[in-house]
Amino acid sequence: MLSKKRLPNHKDGEKVIMHFWKHPFVFFKIFLLYFLLFLIPIAVWFLIQLTWTDLLANQSLMTILTVLGLIYYLLLLVFVFTIWTFNYLDVWTLSTERIVSRNQLGFFNRIVSELELYQVQDVTVEQKGVFATIFNYGHLYIQTAGEVNRFTFEDVPNPLESARLIQQLDEEAKRCHNNPSV
Partner 1 sequence: MGFALPAFAPTLIVFYWAYLLAVLFFIIVGIINIYHLLKFGFFSWVNILVIAAFVAIASCLIYFSLAVLVALDWNRPLFDSGIMNGLFIF
Interface with partner 1 (CB under 8 A): 1-4, 19, 52-55, 57-61, 63-64, 66-68, 70-71, 73-75, 77-78, 81-82, 84-85, 88-89, 91, 102, 104, 107, 110
CB of 91 to partner 1, least distance (A): 8
Nearer residue to partner 1 within complex by CB, 35 or 73: 73
Q: What Cα–Cα distance (Å) separates residue 120 from each residue in 35, 71, 79, 131, 169?
A: 41, 49, 37, 29, 10
Closest CA to 96 of 1, 178, 177, 159: 177
To the nearest whole angstrom, how small is the minimum distance from the Cβ of residue 101 to partner 1? 13
CA nearest neighbour of 80 among 148, 149, 142, 29: 29
Residue (1 or 134) nearer to partner 1, CB? 1
Q: Smaller CB distance to partner 1: residue 114 or 170? A: 114
Residue 71 identity (one-letter amino acid): I
Please report how close the Cβ of residue 85 comes to partner 1 at its closest, in angstroms.
5
> Least distance in Å: CB of 15 to partner 1?
16
Assess contact for 166 and 97: CB atoms under 8 A: no
Residues whose CB falls within 8 Å of the CB of residue 32, separated by 6 or more in sequence, listed in order: none
Nearer to partner 1, 66 or 124 (CB): 66
